[in-house]
Amino acid sequence: MKTLHEAGPIPTSAPSDAPVIGPPAIHTQGLGKTFTLHLQGSTRIPVLRDVELAVAPGECVALSGPSGAGKSTLMRCLYGNYAAGEGRILLRHRGQEIDLVTADPRLVREIRRETLGYVSQFLRVIPRVPTLDIVAEPLRARGMPAEEARARAAALLARLNLPASLHSLPPATFSGGEQQRVNLARGFAPHYPVLLLDEPTASLDAANRDVVVALIAEAKAKGAAIIGIFHDAEVRDRVADRLFHVSPMQAAA
């Protein structure tokens, strides 16, 4: 078994200001994932095998690999959205190390509330809920008073250049880029110790990309461990301390 610090591929990019690598905030051991498609003759799609990824507080790791390699699948496993078939996902939560793979649903919810954030590529709109409340909701869930949560949400939305006139509307009719900024505000508002970002800048213009780069830098400075998928090479080079390569597996015959 590899030790944690040897785990993962050799860094392929390491800016000189890379943070000192301490004990990881999240790490996987022998993580594997195979989809079984019961409706298609039980076809098995092996996607991940023996993934050993460790990310320290203050570090940002970018997942790399060709389309279909399993980057999003890995990220969804790390969030508990996909069930890991093998291995462990160890996470520091409330001062303890917890295996997300075996944690019961209520514990996973608690971890998602306090420790683990995820920004998906597209916002899932909740009918009739105003943008401000969507962004404030994770703060409210942690017990922050409504007014304070709304104020923080509004400030973050403003920073992401979302006009105040849109804050009171549900984002259902927003453009792709506007929805993505709502999603980002929601993900960055609570300062999660571990933050997962799937294509956070895909539908953004240059000015908003810069805001996201700054938000990531600030989150790192506050000690967040960040795992991201960035197809935009420029953004990736600006935020990532190293790459973690996800290699495609041969599908089972």
Partner 1 sequence: MAMQTSHTPAHPHPAGGSAVTPPPVGEGRGGGVAATDAPLLEAQGLTLRYGPITALDDVGIEIFPGEVVAIVGESGSGKSTLLRVLSGLQRPEAGTVTYRAPDGGAADIHRMGEAAMRRLHRTDWGFVHQNPRDGLRMGVSAGGNIGERLMATGARHYGSIRDAATEWLRRVEIDPARIDMLPRQFSGGMQQRLQIARTLVTHPRLVFMDEPTGGLDVSVQARLLDLIRELVADLGLAVLLVTHDIAAARLLAHRLLVMRHGSVVEQGLTDRVLDDPQHEYTQLLVASVLAA
Binding site for ligand ATP (CB under 6 A): 35, 45, 47, 65, 67-73
Among 104, 147, 163, 207, which residue sits at the site for partner 1 (rule: CB under 8 A)? 104
Q: At 146, which amino acid appears?
A: A
The answer to whether 35 contacts partner 1 (rule: CB under 8 A) is: yes
The region of 16-24, 52-60, 160-168, 198-206 touching partner 1 under the rule CB under 8 A is 198-206
Mask: binding to partner 1, 146-185, rule CB under 8 A, as x and -? ----------------------------------------
The answer to whether 34 contacts partner 1 (rule: CB under 8 A) is: no
Q: Which is nearer to ligand ATP, 69 or 211 (CB)?
A: 69
- Rule CB under 8 A: which residues touch partner 1? 35-40, 43, 45, 47, 66-70, 72, 76, 79-83, 104-110, 112-113, 118, 120-124, 126-129, 133-134, 137, 140-143, 186, 198-199, 202, 229, 248-251
